[in-house]
Structure 1
Amino acid sequence: MNTYNKPNERSLSKDSTIYHYRLLKRIHYKPFFAYMFWPVAAIIPLLSFFLIHPAAVLSGIVVVPVLHAFIIQLLLRTKERHAPKTWKWSMRFPWLGYVPDSYIALAKACRLHLHTLWIVFIIIGCFYPWMSPMYLVYLLFIHIWLLLPRLLLLFLLRKHRSNGYLKLNDNDTSCYAQ
């Protein structure tokens, strides 16, 4: 009896691609850092309510993440000629905001986040003549607060930048080689 011709059995076609990933490094999220990160997220906007207009504080919380997402989409469209399909919004520490949903080359993730870091600095700096210095500092704080945990993780994975693929999970960030 030929086992390859069973109708219920699944087989791979000749054009199928099988990917094998080897774990290079895994960074588990420490609860301590999340416990330190979220209070800052609450304290700074509350403090800013008294120093800056409340509408400006709320707009900063919304504008900076949307600006991050816009810049990432723009960079992906201009560099790769297509819209990002595997990105999503996340509210999990340390990847707050617009993040990749599947594997992404570590070099590409580093490049996107460094470009986002500097481009948003420049955009916020362009508004210096029209905004109060306190509001600009607040926007810069939100910008750095969102990107710093990501950049720290990317820095810890820098050794695998040339051949690594980044995968974001609920409890860790993993770097794989193909």
Structure 2
Amino acid sequence: MIAEPENKATFYQYRLLKKKAIARSVIYSYLCLPVIMLLFNLLAFSWTGLFFFLLAGPITIWIHYVIARTILLLVRTSYAKRWRWNMRMPWLGYIPDQHFSFRMFVRVHLNMSWIGLCIITVCL
């Protein structure tokens, strides 16, 4: 094996990621959706709709957390350290905090979608 000279530098290639800014108008329009659903619940189910609306939010976030955490633990434990809770709009819940492969992100959300559709089908 040939020893490399000490003056030879090591070069690393980094990929700079650009942070996307989300316009306030988009966030406000996103916040209008729960208000519209609350009004629909109040019209369709009277005052009990308010109770179910307030109950559905935390249950939905908890189900997403359980599904995402389970998939991350089944696949690889190192991924679980890269996710955290976010309570800022427009993304609420358990989301990636560090660099995360797009393939794994799609896998987690695809499983969440299928399991969510199964839960909705059972509830109907």
Looking at structure 1, the residues matched to 109 and 74 of structure 2 have their Cα atoms a distance apart, in angstroms, of 15
Deviations 1:12-37 (A, max 9, x none): xxxxxxx7531366533122211211
CA RMSD of aligned residues (A): 2.5
Structure 1 residues not aligned, in runs of 5+: 1-18, 129-178
Name which of 81, 105, 109 aligns with 1:109: 105
CA deviation after TM superposition for structure 1 residue 79, in Å? 1.5
Is the Cα–Cα contact under 8 Å of residues 49 and 57 in structure 1 kept in the other structure?
Answer: no
More strand by share: 1
Is the Cα–Cα contact under 8 Å of residues 82 and 98 in structure 2 kept in the other structure?
Answer: yes
Higher RCO (C-alpha under 8 Å, 6+ residues apart):
1
Aligned residues: percent identity?
29
Task: Give secondary structure in 2 for the equivalent of 1:37.
Answer: helix
TM-score when normalising by structure 1:
0.53
Is the Cα–Cα contact under 8 Å of residues 73 and 83 in structure 1 kept in the other structure?
Answer: no
TM-score when normalising by structure 2:
0.73
Looking at structure 2, the residues matched to 83 and 22 of structure 1 have their Cα atoms a distance apart, in angstroms, of 20
CA deviation after TM superposition for structure 1 residue 81, in Å? 4.7
Looking at structure 2, the residues matched to 49 and 123 of structure 1 have their Cα atoms a distance apart, in angstroms, of 23
Q: Which runs of 4+ in 1 moved over 3 A?
A: 24-27
Task: Give secondary structure in 2 for the equivalent of 1:109.
Answer: helix
Name which of 6, 18, 28 aligns with 1:35: 28
Deviations 1:117-148 (A, max 9, x none): 121111221122xxxxxxxxxxxxxxxxxxxx
1:87 aligned partner, one-letter code: W
Task: Give secondary structure in 2 for the equivalent of 1:84.
Answer: helix
Looking at structure 2, the residues matched to 71 and 43 of structure 1 have their Cα atoms a distance apart, in angstroms, of 27
1:75 aligned partner, one-letter code: I
Q: In the alignment, what sits opposite 1:85?
A: 81
Aligned length, in residue pairs: 111
Moved more, 85-94 or 103-112: 85-94
Task: Give secondary structure in 1 for the equivalent of 2:81.
Answer: coil
Task: Give secondary structure in 2 for the equivalent of 1:117.
Answer: helix
Looking at structure 1, the residues matched to 13 and 42 of structure 2 have their Cα atoms a distance apart, in angstroms, of 51
CA deviation after TM superposition for structure 1 residue 85, in Å? 2.5
Q: In the alignment, what sits opposite 2:42?
A: 49
Task: Give secondary structure in 1 for the equivalent of 2:41.
Answer: helix
More helix by share: 2
